Structure 1
């Protein structure tokens, strides 16, 4: 080879042929002998990253940047590495440097828009997406990111339109799941329409099933149950999943956890210690399916539905003899290859089966168990006693605070003349998001001085302590809170909720019923206003309720992980035995 370029090309050829050791030696030779050493460091860094030698990879890319700081692709790749390692501030810095070098760098615009959205800077994310679309309007990824940015600002109709445009470009993209999730927030759609859209996705994804038959005979115990999630980390889903994992009877169930998350934290360690743990986010569906078959999984459970990080396309290929869905999504998946969905009769009452492709399996004592943090803030007296006015509050996701929700909350504020409304969400760190919501309340007669917006706080402890600033929590509709409802109750704050017809709009009803407070759930707006009036007519009773709620929650079935898990295991045993029985009699 006569020049450095030929060395680099040869290294790429060796790498493509799987000759990693030889490629590594050649690139290291270039670095040591200052032959195209800048690009050699870059290439070797990418190679090391592929070997999961992350620190070496980052140092090599940083060396390349030190020698030539104005190469946008070096900084972009370093930013991508930081992003995948959840070193967000460093990733942001690199992407911002890329755009200083190349303001139209599509990859940096897309990735930076994602990080801005996750950081509660949704309006900035939207701006970057629109800039990227000027140069590449045919990118489904950019349209999807725009949808996410709009959704995080509570602009649901615009988000649905962006997702639809993404699907017009690529109907198999992740935008489809985002579109379906967003439908669940929108109160203007009938359940029949939402179900039809889920079925369309299922029809698109369903494949000809491989006949997946185990030898006929008795069921072998313990059953191997595999859980698949993109949230095996410090996430709401894991906080509701851990009580099940902890309480599994290992004589009946041998749990496996398949993690589709790049995040690894203390919660991940906890889950890993309680199961056979596999990381799958870098693997294809076919590779994961082979892994699951090799693990001899009897039941495979989806914990994500159509939320971020899901692997529903894996379930479409039937990776286990029995497949189910639970916990992470308030609706059908739309897949015929998922056999059942775990729920309860309060949250999915009679008549809901017709809107599911899965068989609904009702648990007798509720479908979730709330696991409070080990350290809880003290419960203070209702702030109305000191303030002289009532403070309502909601810590729900912004996308759940729809115009119809704002309309009802405005009526409530108008009814109680001196009351205030505290809204807390990470999105309120964005001034444009605050302005958007402030204007919606202003148009309904609520002055700015009656609204308090709060962004993210430093810790989960501080987040829970913020509930001490409100007298009554207001739930959203048609998509209720789950974590926020439980948090309010454990902090002694009563929750006023509207009860709808389907799962997402009945979660708070299920939760409140389990602690004897179903009366706080209303059937319509007038009923909710009457409930609020009744609750606020007796401050002594409000104080008593505040001081008693935490113990009521802790002693209720809402925190009984053992019973919940026993009931889930009964579902597992029944569906597996039924499957084996059917196969024995079909042979």
Structure 2
């Protein structure tokens, strides 16, 4: 032991070897020799003689094959050499020989974590910390693994499992080991935002910034929440804070451009979105937002080009795909196949993303009341609401059951009035905002809806994903869109002979059902006041106006409008 204590490992090894030869039954000599050979191996490895170090570890195990540190140190060497299978075997043998070998469990966890086997890594860290509760490296590794597992399982952005509640549980468990780990705190904020619990999301994003003031992502996501709450000044402040941390942060540049678009600052919006694209040329959503900017400015051709660039990058981009179809209506008449084929091709691609219901539980009893469902995000002060109010109010509730699926983002007084009317008449109202469209399809199936009517088409926040699942035997589109949806799972489109004359050459995937007279029934707002005499009576002339968005005011529309005042002037002259 004197040689070993003084650091003379070679001499110590020789002494123990002689002792073993002199008395093979003397067990301590073998044990001490294994210790010295292992220490010698580590010394050689640290000196750059890795192969010789491995040799000494192996010699230690030949002398004493139950010596756990020799297995452990072999595992360390093989890990450094990236021979992880060998390393894992060595750590496992070390833990088998010494069940309280915390370091071995910790290093096993590192290998499993790097392989993406997070559950196995967490199990190893738990063993390690049960042995050594204050093992800081293991604590830190556990926090990272739990946070990664929470993101893998609970974060819809990575599209793996999508169990947000389980993800939240893992993040919280991570914070048990390190309560100020900024990544776990940030991910909790993200999870709560996905769960539409925005108050909690704000709390955790702000905590993430407290623990990591350089977390640009937290600033950006706070901006998104404030923007959705119409607090644009606060949103801009958050985006600018994110950009002060990461000047080329494409998401914040893009989001700032979106706010500028909403505010009507078109030049500033274009500048920001273009900077986002320069920072990330593969940023499909930025091209989509550039398209929205061009559309709002009335440059529909440029808008369509931007949408198509977005789709080149991300062919399954729902926003760009549907925005392109909507924009095409402004410049294509639909008398040729171009518009029809664009919708039909979109429908085919979209259908692949949604599994169809293979069996429906609707009763075959002939004289039972029909169950009719209406799905829309527009049961608020929106143009669709003025046309759906009368049908919902005057529906034949006595002979059919009505189920309203409301995807309203921000309910208002009109939403509450609609809901009250439907419930008082014996209908069912389901709030589906934030619920996955496939799950909404399951709800439709559980409600045994016979006829499902969607009221949105390719406009904002639609539920065409639900329609693609075909949860009802008969599916219909009505009111919200002037063209075919392109979805083969929608059977009928309700229209009339004025909007779609029987002689029309425009093609539809759906079968057209023409209501007599008009397919729309307008209910004016109670706040609109009484109808007054036309000002033309007192003015002596007619004033023409339009409240449409700029995208609809195309050169062809202007040509038609130009003929109207000319015709009026001609009549006046007569």
Q: TM-score range by the shorter chain?
A: 0.5 to 0.7
Distance in 1 between the 2:573 and 2:460 partners? 43
Instruction: State the secondary structure of the residue aligned to 1:250.
Output: coil
Which of 437, 450, 473 aligns to 1:298? It is 450
Distance in 1 between the 2:167 and 2:271 partners? 44
Instruction: Name the stretch that deviates more: 320-329 or 74-83.
Output: 74-83
Please show how residues 91-106 of structure 1 align to structure 2 within 5 Å: 91-106=235-250
Conservation of the 8 A alpha-carbon contact between 2:144 and 2:174: no
Distance in 1 between the 2:394 and 2:140 partners? 60
Confirm or deny that 1:352 pairs with 2:504.
Answer: yes
Which of 134, 147, 155 aligns to 1:12? It is 147
Q: If you compute each CA radius of gyration, which structure gives the higher value, 1 or 2? A: 2
Cα distance, 1:398 vs structure 2: 0.9
Distance in 2 between the 1:241 and 1:356 partners? 23
Distance in 2 between the 1:277 and 1:216 partners? 22
For 1:328-347, what per-residue CA distance to the aligned partner results, in whole angstroms no more than 9, with x for missing partners? 00111122211111111222
**Counterpart position of 1:115:** 259
Instruction: State the secondary structure of the residue aligned to 1:355.
Output: coil
Confirm or deny that 1:148 pairs with 2:292.
Answer: yes
Confirm or deny that 1:27 pairs with 2:214.
Answer: no
Distance in 1 between the 2:192 and 2:472 partners? 34
Please show how residues 428-443 of structure 1 align to structure 2 within 5 Å: none
Instruction: Name the stretch that deviates more: 75-84 or 175-184.
Output: 75-84
Distance in 1 between the 2:313 and 2:376 partners? 27
Conservation of the 8 A alpha-carbon contact between 2:321 and 2:346: yes
Distance in 2 between the 1:387 and 1:62 partners? 59
Instruction: State the secondary structure of the residue aligned to 1:394.
Output: coil
Instruction: State the secondary structure of the residue aligned to 1:361.
Output: strand
Distance in 1 between the 2:209 and 2:412 partners? 30
Cα distance, 1:385 vs structure 2: 8.1
What number of residue pairs does the alignment pair up?
Answer: 418
Confirm or deny that 1:248 pairs with 2:382.
Answer: no
Confirm or deny that 1:321 pairs with 2:469.
Answer: no
Please show how residues 35-46 of structure 1 align to structure 2 within 5 Å: 35-36=180-181, 41-46=185-190
Conservation of the 8 A alpha-carbon contact between 1:224 and 1:255: yes
Conservation of the 8 A alpha-carbon contact between 1:123 and 1:153: no
Distance in 2 between the 1:261 and 1:206 partners? 24
Task: Specify whether residues 201 and 20 from structure 1 end up closer, same or farther in structure 2 by C-alpha distance, changes over 3 A only.
Answer: closer
Task: Specify whether residues 256 and 62 from structure 1 end up closer, same or farther in structure 2 by C-alpha distance, changes over 3 A only.
Answer: same
Distance in 2 between the 1:26 and 1:152 partners? 45
Conservation of the 8 A alpha-carbon contact between 2:334 and 2:340: no
**Counterpart position of 1:180:** 325
Conservation of the 8 A alpha-carbon contact between 1:39 and 1:64: yes
Distance in 1 between the 2:349 and 2:188 partners? 40
Confirm or deny that 1:331 pairs with 2:478.
Answer: no
Which of 327, 339, 345 aligns to 1:200? It is 345
Task: Specify whether residues 260 and 529 from structure 1 end up closer, same or farther in structure 2 by C-alpha distance, changes over 3 A only.
Answer: same
**Counterpart position of 1:530:** 567
**Counterpart position of 1:285:** 437
Instruction: State the secondary structure of the residue aligned to 1:249.
Output: coil
Cα distance, 1:400 vs structure 2: 0.7
Task: Specify whether residues 193 and 268 from structure 1 end up closer, same or farther in structure 2 by C-alpha distance, changes over 3 A only.
Answer: same
For 1:501-534, what per-residue CA distance to the aligned partner results, in whole angstroms no more than 9, with x for missing partners? xxxxxxxxxxxxxxxxxxxxxxxx3x66214543
Which of 77, 80, 98 aligns to 2:224? It is 80
Query: Which one scores higher on RCO, CA 8 angstroms, separation ≥ 6?
Result: 1
Task: Specify whether residues 231 and 251 from structure 1 end up closer, same or farther in structure 2 by C-alpha distance, changes over 3 A only.
Answer: same
Distance in 2 between the 1:334 and 1:46 partners? 34
Distance in 2 between the 1:395 and 1:127 partners? 28
**Counterpart position of 1:457:** none
Cα distance, 1:323 vs structure 2: 0.3
Please show how residues 223-238 of structure 1 align to structure 2 within 5 Å: 223-238=370-385
After superposition, the CA RMSD in angstroms is 3.2
Cα distance, 1:312 vs structure 2: 1.9
Which of 388, 404, 408 aligns to 2:556? It is 404
Task: Specify whether residues 271 and 29 from structure 1 end up closer, same or farther in structure 2 by C-alpha distance, changes over 3 A only.
Answer: farther
Instruction: State the secondary structure of the residue aligned to 2:462.
Output: coil
Instruction: State the secondary structure of the residue aligned to 1:225.
Output: strand
Task: Specify whether residues 205 and 373 from structure 1 end up closer, same or farther in structure 2 by C-alpha distance, changes over 3 A only.
Answer: same
Cα distance, 1:380 vs structure 2: 6.6
Task: Specify whether residues 180 and 2 from structure 1 end up closer, same or farther in structure 2 by C-alpha distance, changes over 3 A only.
Answer: same
Distance in 2 between the 1:188 and 1:245 partners? 32
Please show how residues 438-477 of structure 1 align to structure 2 within 5 Å: none
Confirm or deny that 1:271 pairs with 2:418.
Answer: yes
Distance in 1 between the 2:447 and 2:530 partners? 46
Cα distance, 1:315 vs structure 2: 1.7
Instruction: Name the stretch that deviates more: 234-243 or 5-14.
Output: 5-14
Distance in 2 between the 1:63 and 1:6 partners? 21
Q: With structure 1 as the length reference, what TM-score do the two structures score?
A: 0.63
Q: With structure 2 as the length reference, what TM-score do the two structures score?
A: 0.65
Distance in 1 between the 2:559 and 2:506 partners? 31
User: Unmatched 5+ residue regions in structure 1?
Assistant: 413-524, 539-587
Distance in 2 between the 1:307 and 1:215 partners? 30
Distance in 2 between the 1:169 and 1:19 partners? 30
**Counterpart position of 2:8:** none
Confirm or deny that 1:59 pairs with 2:203.
Answer: yes
User: Unmatched 5+ residue regions in structure 2?
Assistant: 1-134, 154-165
